[in-house]
């Protein structure tokens, strides 16, 4: 893409509008990741208050993600039919209500209800966010939009423990829950004030990029799925192998991430003799490095139309680094570095991954497709902790790292397969 093509339309006003949209959607995404960790950060307080064991407390998180998985697969249909903005506000309102229910809870069932309400809220954000970004941001800036989206999610995760621990220390866990609800309520207010940025579609010049023209030509030959019933749309999508591949891709990458997030601290202790404080810092380094990788990935995604290659290479390298780590033969200081490097590589893949999903999305089904494929992430997040925990209990202390490496490798192969399936489908459509 040349500068001459962009100059007539890529003016300051358009650029400013794009970044306002990206920033607002990123803030929303950060709040969704922030709220995912609200209940886990209260485990110790709830155990002290009510005497619940960790199995019972863990069930709250399982309920949250199970409901989110079921809701995410279906909320995309709603997004494609009534628009993303009202669905987004509904999701944020559910978080606010969930936080209030946690704060006023007096028994386990109220906490479980709060988890279910929070899971309903969490289910809408990927279909909503990607629908807005794909429809409202200029195509040549989408790579940066996707990288910012991933970065803000990681920052949301990083904020929760600090935010909640500080409020608990200054007041108590109930006030911390109310404070979490208030923070999300502030984000809800921002989405109302910025509602003009979230509604409608980008009406920029059709010559803004060759990519837009190509997508428009392909889309014009295909039916608009938003005009079909939910059952017809689902039947059409489920007949596309690429979408099944994308679903499995997210399931395997989330399994890998779950292994790293949940068990890196005990594995560093048992394999390398690293104390819990340094191990916790190392896990934070993984997340920060992943965020930096996402920023770099935002620049790489526009360097080639074959984004699946970036995804495959970065995930294979991340998996190889974890394999070296799992073998236990490196110095402890280098083990810390390997984990950060693996986080960086996994982060690089994220913007290209989201661009790849865009390529396999039929017209009128943006929210539906992102909802369906991202529900694979919730599936992986629900299944992996128990399975890898059994490995540790059985004495296979490096098991989760080997599992994470395998998950990244399988996901890399799936990314290549999804791209090939999408290309075949495009050729078949063109031939028809």
pLDDT average, residue stretch 202-211: 39
The per-residue DSSP string of 34-98 comes to HHHTHHHHTHHHHHHHH---HHHHHHHHHHHHHHHHHHHHHHHHHHHHH-HHHHHHHHHHHHHHH
What confidence score (pLDDT) does residue 365 get?
Answer: 64
Do residue 161 and residue 280 come from a single domain? no
Do residue 166 and residue 305 come from a single domain? no
What confidence score (pLDDT) does residue 367 get?
Answer: 67
pLDDT value at 306 more than 60: yes
Do residue 161 and residue 272 come from a single domain? no
Do residue 191 and residue 236 come from a single domain? no
105-118: per-residue pLDDT in tens?
999 999 999 999 99
What confidence score (pLDDT) does residue 425 get?
Answer: 58
pLDDT average, residue stretch 29-58: 86
| Lowest model confidence (mean pLDDT) among 3-12, 88-97, 164-173 | 3-12
Residue 11 structure tokens:
């003016």
Any domain includes 72: yes
Do residue 288 and residue 352 come from a single domain? yes
pLDDT value at 203 more than 60: no
What confidence score (pLDDT) does residue 60 get?
Answer: 87
Any domain includes 209: no
- Percent of the chain residues topping a pLDDT of 70: 83
* CA 46/CA 41 separation, integer angstroms: 10
pLDDT value at 430 more than 70: no
Do residue 261 and residue 115 come from a single domain? no
Q: pLDDT band at residue 8, thresholds of 50, 70 and 90?
A: very low
The residue among 174, 196, 218 that closes a domain is: 196
Please classify residue 223 by burial: count the beta carbons closer than 10 Å to its beta carbon, then call 0-12 exposed, 13-18 middle and 19+ buried: middle
Q: pLDDT band at residue 214, thresholds of 50, 70 and 90?
A: very low
Nearest to 352 by CA among 261, 416, 425: 416
Do residue 405 and residue 310 come from a single domain? yes
* CA 146/CA 301 separation, integer angstroms: 9
**If residue 379 lies in a helix (H) or strand (E), which one and from where to where?**
helix 366-393
pLDDT value at 131 more than 60: yes
Any domain includes 217: no
Q: How many helices (H) and strands (E) does the chain have?
A: 19, 0
Do residue 240 and residue 178 come from a single domain? no
Any domain includes 220: no
Report which listed range, 131-135, 233-237, 281-285, is most confident.
Answer: 131-135
Higher pLDDT, 2 or 132: 132
* CA 288/CA 292 separation, integer angstroms: 6
Query: Which residues in 334-351 are b (16+ Cβ under 10 Å) and which e?
Result: ebbbbbbbbbbbbbbbbb
Any domain includes 312: yes
CATH of residue 262's domain is 1.20.1250.20
Any domain includes 37: yes
Do residue 175 and residue 244 come from a single domain? no
* CA 43/CA 53 separation, integer angstroms: 9
Any domain includes 178: yes
Do residue 162 and residue 254 come from a single domain? no
pLDDT value at 211 more than 50: no
| Lowest model confidence (mean pLDDT) among 210-219, 258-267, 292-301 | 210-219
Q: Structural domain of residue 108, as residue ranges? A: 14-196
Q: Kindly report the length of the chain.
A: 432
Do residue 231 and residue 191 come from a single domain? no
Phi, psi of 171 (to 5 degrees): -135, -100
Q: Reduced to 3 states, what is the DSSP secondary structure of residue 201? A: coil
* Domains identified in the chain, total number: 2
Do residue 175 and residue 281 come from a single domain? no
What confidence score (pLDDT) does residue 428 get?
Answer: 54
Any domain includes 325: yes
* CA 403/CA 392 separation, integer angstroms: 12
The residue among 196, 213, 236 that closes a domain is: 196
Report which listed range, 57-61, 174-178, 371-375, 398-402, is most confident.
Answer: 174-178
What confidence score (pLDDT) does residue 250 get?
Answer: 87
Mean pLDDT, the chain, integer: 81
What confidence score (pLDDT) does residue 222 get?
Answer: 52
370-405: per-residue pLDDT in tens?
777 777 887 887 777 777 777 877 888 888 899 999
């Amino acid at each position: 893409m040349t500068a001459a093509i962009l100059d007539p339309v890529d003016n300051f006003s358009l650029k400013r509008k794009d970044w306002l949209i990206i920033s607002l959607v990123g803030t929303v995404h950060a709040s969704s990741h922030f709220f995912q960790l609200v209940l886990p950060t209260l485990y110790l307080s709830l155990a002290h208050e009510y005497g619940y064991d960790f199995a019972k407390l863990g069930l709250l998180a399982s309920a949250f993600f199970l409901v989110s998985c079921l809701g995410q697969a279906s909320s995309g249909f709603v997004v494609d039919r009534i628009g993303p903005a009202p669905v987004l506000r509904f999701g944020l309102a559910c978080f606010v209500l969930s936080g209030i229910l946690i704060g006023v809870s007096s028994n386990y069932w109220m906490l479980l209800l709060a988890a279910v309400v929070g899971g309903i809220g969490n289910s809408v954000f990927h279909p909503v966010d990607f629908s807005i970004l794909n429809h409202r941001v200029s195509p040549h800036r989408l790579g940066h939009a996707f990288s910012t989206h991933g970065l803000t999610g990681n920052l949301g995760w990083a904020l929760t423990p600090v935010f909640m621990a500080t409020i608990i220390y200054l007041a108590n866990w109930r006030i911390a829950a109310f404070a979490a609800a208030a923070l999300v309520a502030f984000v809800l207010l921002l989405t109302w004030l910025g509602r003009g940025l979230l509604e409608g579609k980008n009406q920029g010049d059709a010559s803004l990029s060759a990519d837009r023209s190509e997508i428009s030509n392909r889309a014009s030959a295909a039916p608009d799925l938003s005009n079909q019933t939910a059952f017809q749309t689902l039947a059409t999508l489920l007949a596309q192998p690429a979408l099944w591949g994308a679903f499995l891709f997210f399931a395997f990458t989330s399994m890998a991430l779950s292994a790293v997030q949940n068990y890196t601290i005990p594995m560093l202790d048992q394999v390398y003799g690293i104390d819990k404080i340094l191990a916790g810092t190392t896990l934070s380094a993984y997340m920060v490095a992943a965020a930096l990788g996402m920023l770099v990935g935002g620049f790489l995604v526009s360097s080639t139309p074959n984004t699946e290659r970036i995804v495959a290479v970065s995930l294979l390298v991340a998996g190889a680094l974890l394999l070296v780590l799992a073998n236990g033969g490196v110095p402890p200081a280098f083990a810390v570095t390997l984990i950060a490097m693996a986080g960086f590589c996994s982060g690089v893949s994220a913007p290209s991954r989201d661009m790849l999903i865009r390529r396999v999305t039929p017209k009128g089904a943006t929210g539906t497709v992102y909802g369906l494929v991202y529900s694979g992430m919730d599936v992986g997040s629900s299944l992996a902790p128990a399975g890898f925990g059994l490995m540790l209990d059985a004495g296979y202390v490096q098991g989760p790292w080997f599992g994470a490496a395998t998950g990244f490798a399988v996901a890399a192969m799936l990314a290549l397969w999804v791209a090939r399936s999408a290309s075949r489908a495009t050729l078949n459509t063109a031939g028809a």
